[in-house]
Every structure is written in structure tokens, then in C-alpha cells.
Amino acid sequence: MKNKIFYTIVSFVLLLSCENIQQSSKINYEILGFGEEGCNKDIFTDIDIVPLEYSENSALSAIKQIAVVDSTIIIRDGQSGVLCFNMGGKYLHRLSHKGRAKNEYIRLNTFVVNNQNEVLLFDSFSNKIIYYNINGSYIKTERLPQGILSETNMCAITENGDILQNSNIINDKSDIYSLICTDQNSYSKDIIHTSPLRTKDVSMPIGEFPISKTTEGIKLLLPMSNVVYEFTGNNKITPSFTIATEARIANEGVLSQQNDFSIFSILDLKERGYFSGFSSIFENDKYMLLKSYGKDYFLIHKNMKKGVMLSSEYDEAIADIPLYGVKCATDFGFIGVISIDEISELKESINKDNQLLNVINTINTSSIEDNPVLCIYKLDDKAIERVIKM
């Protein structure tokens, strides 16, 4: 007999006054350097360009998510689903296909790698999680109660194997963080944080990648905030540190007036002098990278408790290397995605500058066909310390 599946929703008070955010916990420290511009090419030891093998089976259109497990690059594409490549860009295999079979998906919202290096595919339409190993073998499918995966944007696996879920805001449904608890194929869902933001018939994420996970734990972002939070278990999120800024911070009253939340409302508040917050967080043991709602990144040296701004656009005046579309952090740095047109423009530019030729390890346009290209940024510890100390 199948185990009985139950679905419990526990409601909490809104935003910063809610009991899930432990207000009694003092913010550990403040990060300095936000707004201070750095030079990208002074930060990275190498920037490797990795063309992804193009074939009928490995065609990509819009890369949405990347994870690296051992020497395998796992990519979620907007059209092709989840594909695996090696670190040289060679296509290996696909995980699942679109369809109605138990090992297939209808709407692939996100994926996550669990503590056993299994890849979990989240299908919100079919209310199920499909398990694969990184070698491409199907393991199992677990069905969840109706609606428990609704509006899922991103997930992380907690230390005890539960699922921390980030969801989009749609109308007045704004439970942006929840914990999906698993116990012998039974599931319950506890709401951890509800935002006062609202939308008008539009599903709006609070960010592209608002959760990061390292050996130190799970960090997460809240909308329009200069605080980085950590998940501490027991259905609590706690302020970890704050980013020093002279901009005003939007309180609950200001946020509750945003009943048509979008990137435009964020930019409007920014023009009115409010801090716009961050849309993505990437982290390894030494560094954290925060993506602003503009075009810049803020690289933080965690031990020094200070950071520097990095640009995502090519500046011909200083021949700097752009930090293109970062999708994940690795032990050695970050991985971004660039289009064929962008790589051609960059190659043409760096041929005019020998210093940049020394930064780029390889650009082999003869092997680039129709797939996007990965840009692997390797961090230079000593250079970062020099730049941040300035």
C-alpha cells in the first residue's frame, strides 16, 4: 500500500517582522567595498573558453542553470532539458526527456544535486521529482501533493536531506521560501518566509539564483535587501552579514506598496534612492559573488570581509574582460555563458591587446558552432587580496 501523503502549510508573519527571521540574532559583520570598481583582468588567473559540442542530440538554445559534479558539467537548457558535458565541452548524455512517462517531465523548473550526487529534476506541472545519477541512469520518481512545487524557481538540499524551495511571486501568493520535508516518501511543506510584494497575474522570481550552498551551509537573498541570510534549520533564516551602502533600505511598508512587482518597480525604487538588492548569489569556500539588478557583480573576499565591483560589459577603453552571465560557482571560481556573437567580438578586441591574450587561455573559433560557450573564470587569490586592500 502506498504511503499516505500529506500536505501541511504553516503560515507565518510577513517579512522582517516574521518569526522565521530571527531578529534577536545580531548580524555577524558588515561587508565593505560595495560600489568600488575593480578591473576584471586583475582578478582572474585564467579565463578558459569552452565550446560546447554541437550535435542533433546536444543542441542548446538558452542555458538557464549549471552545476559541476566531479568532472561533469550539468546544464539545464530552456528548450533541450538537462544535458551533461565533460570539462572540455564534449557532450556526454541527456537526463530525461519531455513527456508523460514516469521518468519524463512536462515543465522542468529546476534541478538540484543532492548529498549522494544524484540529480533531482523538479516538474511542477506533474508534481514530481525525477532522480537520475550523473551517468545518465534513471533511479526513481517521487510524486508530491498537488501544488507543492507550484512556482518553484530554485532549490537546495539541506544537511538532513530536506528541500529548501524558492518560489516565484504570483498575485498575492508570495511564499518565497519553504521547506519541503521528506520522510519515507511522505511530504510536508512549511512556509519559511512570506514577502509583502505582490504581482498582477504574472509569475515573478525574486532573483535568478537567490540561494547558494557550500560546506558552510545555505545562504539566501531577500528582495531589495542589503542583508545576506543563512538557513539555520528549524525553519529559520537568520541575518548573516550586511553590505555597507549609503542607499536607503526599503522597509516592509515600502515593499507592501509594490503590488505589481517587476524589474521595473525595482529600478523605480532605485531611482528614488533605495538599495535595489541582489538577484543572484554564488559562493565557494573563499569567495562570494553577488549579482546586482544592474549590470555589475560584487565579489567578496569572505575572510577579508571586503569586496570589489566587477563589470559584466566589455570596456574597450581599458580592454577589460567582461564577467559574462554567471550561472554557478566552483572551487576555482565561476562559470558564465556567452553567445557566439559575444565571443567573436571579444576575440576581435583582445587581438589588439597582448595583455588580454595572456589572460585568455584558449579561444578556438573553428570548433564553435551553434551552441553557447562557457567562460570559466579562475580566481587569483593574491591579486584579489591586492585589489581589495587598495
* DSSP code for 123: E
Q: Is residue 338 situated within a structural domain? A: yes
Instruction: Write down the pLDDT at residue 3.
Output: 39
Is 235 within a domain? yes
Lowest mean pLDDT among 159-168, 251-260, 305-314: 305-314
**Predicted confidence (pLDDT) at residue 367 exceeds the cutoff of 80:** no
Any domain includes 5: no
Residue 9 lies in a domain: no
- C-alpha 126/C-alpha 142 separation (Å) is 10
User: Is 124 among the domain residues?
Assistant: yes
- What kind and span of H or E run contains 118? strand 118-123
Over range 134-146, report the average pLDDT.
95
pLDDT top residue among 322 and 109: 109
User: What is the 3-state composition of the chain as percent helix, strand, coil, each rounded to the nearest 5?
Assistant: 15, 40, 45
Provide the residue type at 200 as one letter. Answer: K
Q: Which of 146, 149, 252 is closest to 194 using CA atoms?
A: 252
Per-residue confidence at 318, pLDDT binned at 50, 70, 90? Answer: low
| Phi/psi of residue 297, nearest 5 degrees | -115, 155
CB within 8 Å of 129: residues ≥ 6 apart? 120, 121, 122, 123, 141, 142, 144, 149
Single out the residue of 374, 380, 267 nearest to residue 325, CA to CA.
374
CA–CA distance, 71 with 73 (Å, rounded to integer):
7
Q: Which residues, other chains included, contact 139 with Cβ-Cβ below 8 Å and sequence gap of 6+?
A: 118, 131, 132, 133
**Which residues lie closer than 8 Å to 387 by C-beta, 6 or more apart?**
38, 39, 42, 43, 308
pTM of the complete model: 0.89
Count up the domains in the chain and report the number: 1
pLDDT value of position 357? 52
Q: Domain range for residue 74?
A: 15-389
- Does 287 reside within a domain? yes
CATH number where 176 lies: 2.120.10.30
Indicate whether 10 belongs to any domain: no
Q: Is residue 3 in some structural domain?
A: no
Give the DSSP per-residue string, 129-197: EEEEETTS-EEEEEE--TTTTTTEEEEEE-TTS-EEEEE-EETTB---EEEEEEETTEEEEEEEE--S-
Query: Which residues, other chains included, contact 166 with Cβ-Cβ below 8 Å and sequence gap of 6+?
Result: 152, 153, 154, 155, 176, 177, 205, 206, 210, 211, 220
Q: What is the pLDDT of residue 321?
A: 72
Which pLDDT does position 198 carry in this prediction? 97
Tell me what pLDDT residue 312 has.
Answer: 85
Higher per-residue confidence, 284 vs 61: 284
Kindly state the average pLDDT of the residues 2-16.
Answer: 34
pLDDT of 370 higher than 60: yes
Parallel/antiparallel/unpaired status of strands 152-157 and 169-170: unpaired
Lowest-confidence range among 43-52, 100-109, 298-307, 337-346?
A: 337-346
Query: Which of the four pLDDT bands, split at 50, 70 and 90, describes residue 100?
Result: very high
> Is residue 305 predicted with pLDDT exceeding 90?
yes
* Cα distance between residue 150 and residue 125, in whole Å: 8
